[in-house]
Amino acid sequence: MRQRLREFGVRTALGASRGQVMRLVLGEGVRVAAPGIVLGLVAAMGVARALSRMLVATSPTDVPTLAITLLVQAAVTLAACALPAWQASRVDPLVVLREG
């Protein structure tokens, strides 16, 4: 995020709102994490099928378990992006542009 402070300062100076800057940072974080989440769920289903004999009281494609896993991963992704997004939205364009 530090490397992009100047960009956020310019965006803010040109009229971007704090919400727009936050959505930009959160959106980029989600775009990076989403393929990993999807691939992880696919891999989990494959491993669960391979180990289905060892699973007790659940099926390899247990929808509630997979849904909870997806929700937890999405929440962690948003939490990991929230602080940088908040910091990016608070950039003072005058200070950043004067430093650069």
Which of 29-33, 53-57, 60-64 is most confident? 29-33
For residues 8-36, average pLDDT: 92
What pLDDT is attached to residue 100? 65
What pLDDT is attached to residue 18? 92
**CB contact at 8 A, 96 and 2:** no
DSSP state, residue 2: G
Closest CA to 75 of 49, 35, 37: 37
For residues 48-74, average pLDDT: 82
What pLDDT is attached to residue 46? 84
Domain residue ranges of the chain, discontinuous segments joined by +: 2-99
